[in-house]
Amino acid sequence: MPTAAPDAPLTSTSIDGAIDHLQATYPEAVSADDREGYGGIIVDSAQLLDIAQVIRDELGFDYLSSATAVDYLGAGDHMEMVYHAYRSSGGGALVFKAQTERDNAEIPSLVSVWRGADFQEREAWDLYGIHFPGHPNLKRILMWEGFHGHPMRKDWREAYYEEEQKPFDSRWPGGHVHRAEEKNVFGKNVNYPREIDLSRLMDTSESAVYQSLGLGVDVERVMDKDGFETNELVVNMGPHHPSTHGVFRMVLTVDGETVTSLEPVMGYLHRNHEKIGERNTYLHNIPFTDRLDYISSMGNNHGYVLAVEQLLSLGRRYNEPTYRCEALRVLMVELSRIVNHLWAIGFWLNDIGAFFTPVLYFIQERERILDFFEAVAGSRMMCNYMRFGGLFGDLPERIKSVSNLTNDRVRDYNTMQFLTEMFSERIPRTIDELEQLLTQNEILIERSVGVGVLSAEDAINYSAAGPLLRGSGVPYDIRRADPYSIYDELDFDVAVEDAGDMYARYRVRVKELRESVRILRQILPRLEATKGQSIWADGKPGAYAPRVPHGEAYGRVENGKGELGYYIVSAGGKSGTSNPWRYHVRAPSFINLTPMGIMSQGYKVADIVGILGSIDIVLGETDR
């Protein structure tokens, strides 16, 4: 690849040009990552902070998409932080890495460069035990304070540990069934450090939360800005609170009714999805991704298969998906986007007081879309539809239910006709009604205009994604900025609004609903034209245990809630492997909470519920 002409501004050089520039400027500290199937650069962690500044300011990679750790136990025995930085103007990733020992792992914090690294570094500390000097608030984020060990490390074993990798030998041919808890009784499956006396164990996790808010006591008498004496106090919203859309907690300090600081507390639904993913085979992970953002499982599948397909394409035996397969994928993910946005708007309205009337209107359309998913993929929400290089199945000719022992009702629609009617009548009508019902509604406008403001600079710097980012005036949509699948030939506009408040996010979602319908209308003729084409390049379904070559891949898609990325490392030898070494999910719901604190400051307690709703999170993905 030619490097950029010397007089071209550095902020628009190619990725290779940027790497060359870094290598020229820091010959000692920057080296190419030359492991087989890897890319990007390895940076000496002593100079990481300086180089990160250069990457952001001089080279223009202002958006830190993902920062995650990998444990190379037995393969170099080091820890590695992997960063994917993008330009908010579009283009590919600059991947850079920093390595450290496994014992006393330490890498400088990049929070001062990209605030978006905040939660991600806390996660790396929590799950991998990497210390980040310079991090303003380094404590556990998914596990509780006081948890023993760092569960994503390769030598950490879960309570019902059986084997390093699936499939387990005990299942076949001598599969005498037992329950895990029979062999490993609950309570006896936990190791406590020897010095701990269980009877005197104190829960210190709470005081850590309060201290990070700068509080020693619960209530303090203060003067407010107008000179009135008020009380400053701590309010816990959640974990069991109807507004939090799941088990999620916000600890706020309020001065009267005004929020002075807010800290999200999460992890109540944590199940170490990534550890499970590393025990699984590549194929096993697809249905597990359904359970991340369970509103848009099709999109989750898509990101994951894209990442694994990137790795598979390094090997010899790999066929690109056929055009029909790509068209079907886009059909499914755009339908999920519609479901996601209808759901997000509906529940946000619930949060600000339009209780259930609008959301039930939207759910009628959602039901029909889910009926369609069920007829095609077999399940309404846990679709498990995409496969590496293909799909579970083509569209059925008819959406049909037969009467039998478990059914007493029958329906039978022509699939294409059903879709045509949905795209030309029902969904556009619902969007129109949605606007008629709400866009000019005075109460809605008063509640949401100017509330929960996030500026464009902050949105980028905090790694906000999806409607949260675009609602702050940043026209960044991965389908356009870094196109995948067949999006580059589809005609649609990136929805963007400048105000950065709750209302702007609402408007972005409505626009995206319309754009999705526009895309879907372009998909229909493509489906007609490819009728009869196989969804598999070689006409037959892929293998159940594909061998994935050595390497790393980062697959990302624009999901309803924002950028969903999967960082996958395959440590296979010559013939590849069928279990991933590293499986990381860059969850938009999780990272979009990073700016929640600054978005809430100065607003009233009652607005917090709406602000959270306007971000649109789902806890299955936040907590993983």
Partner 1 sequence: MYGTGLAKGLMLTLRHFVDSYIDDIRYGFRKYSHSVDNFGIRQGTQTKGVITVQYPDEKVAVPERFRFVPFLIVEDEDHPTRAGKDWCTSCGICAKVCPPQCIWIVRGNDPDTGRPVPEPEAFFIDIDICMNCGYCAEYCPFDAIKMDHDYELASYDRTTHHIHDKERLSKPNSYWRSIAPTRAYEEMLARGTWEHKDAAKEARRGQSASRSSAPRPAAKAAPAPAEKEEAQATPEPAVSAAPAAAADGATPWSEDDAKREERRRKALERKARRAAKSGG
Contact pick of 376, 469, 585, 593 for partner 1 (by CB under 8 A): 376
Q: How far is the CB of 437 from partner 1 (least distance, A)?
A: 4
Could you say whether residue 491 binds partner 1 (CB under 8 A)?
no
Alpha carbon 294 to chain centroid distance? 12
Contact pick of 526, 582, 584, 624 for partner 1 (by CB under 8 A): 526
Tokens of 171: 């299942």
Question: 317: which residues sit within 8 A by CB, 6+ positions away?
Answer: none
Contact pick of 86, 119, 288, 503 for partner 1 (by CB under 8 A): 288
User: Whose CA is closest to 580, among 300, 317, 279?
Assistant: 279
Torsion angle, alpha carbons of 302, 303, 305, 309, to 10 = 130
Segment interacting with partner 1, rule: CB under 8 A, options 143-151, 258-266, 534-542, 562-570: 534-542
Could you say whether residue 573 binds partner 1 (CB under 8 A)?
no
* Nearest-angstrom CA–CA distance, 497 and 128: 38
Segment interacting with partner 1, rule: CB under 8 A, options 3-11, 261-269, 329-337, 522-530: 522-530
* Nearest-angstrom CA–CA distance, 325 and 395: 10
Could you say whether residue 191 binds partner 1 (CB under 8 A)?
no
Segment interacting with partner 1, rule: CB under 8 A, options 57-65, 276-284, 294-302, 602-610: 276-284
Interacting positions 405-464 with partner 1 (CB under 8 A): 405-413, 418, 421-422, 425-426, 433, 436-445
CB atoms within 10 A of CB 547: 17
Interface map 39-58 toward partner 1 (x if CB under 8 A): x-------------------
- Classify strands 94-101 and 41-43 as parallel, antiparallel or unpaired: parallel
Could you say whether residue 294 binds partner 1 (CB under 8 A)?
no
Contact 250, 612 (CB under 8 A): yes
Q: How many residues touch partner 1 (CB under 8 A)?
A: 103
By beta-carbon proximity to partner 1, the closer residue of 149 and 167 is 167
State which amino acid sits at residue 495.
A
Question: 189: which residues sit within 8 A by CB, 6+ positions away?
Answer: 159, 160
Could you say whether residue 285 binds partner 1 (CB under 8 A)?
yes
Could you say whether residue 177 binds partner 1 (CB under 8 A)?
yes
Contact pick of 164, 320, 457, 498 for partner 1 (by CB under 8 A): 320
Segment interacting with partner 1, rule: CB under 8 A, options 42-50, 387-395, 447-455, 566-574: 387-395
Q: How far is the CB of 14 from partner 1 (least distance, A)?
A: 12
User: Whose CA is closest to 607, among 458, 447, 453?
Assistant: 447
Interface map 234-273 toward partner 1 (x if CB under 8 A): ----------------------------------------
Contact pick of 287, 450, 473, 475 for partner 1 (by CB under 8 A): 287
* Nearest-angstrom CA–CA distance, 616 and 595: 13
Contact pick of 193, 489, 574, 575 for partner 1 (by CB under 8 A): 489
Tokens of 135: 């991090």
Interface map 332-371 toward partner 1 (x if CB under 8 A): -------------------------x--xx--x---x--x
Could you say whether residue 38 binds partner 1 (CB under 8 A)?
yes
Could you say whether residue 171 binds partner 1 (CB under 8 A)?
yes
447's enclosing H/E stretch is helix 442-448
Contact 276, 294 (CB under 8 A): no
Contact pick of 9, 175, 353, 602 for partner 1 (by CB under 8 A): 175
Contact 274, 152 (CB under 8 A): yes
Contact pick of 323, 475, 483, 547 for partner 1 (by CB under 8 A): 323
Tokens of 553: 């891949």
Query: Can you tell me whether residue 82 is helix, strand or coil?
Result: strand
Half-sphere exposure (Cβ direction) of 362: Cα atoms closer than 13 Å: 25
Alpha carbon 200 to chain centroid distance? 39
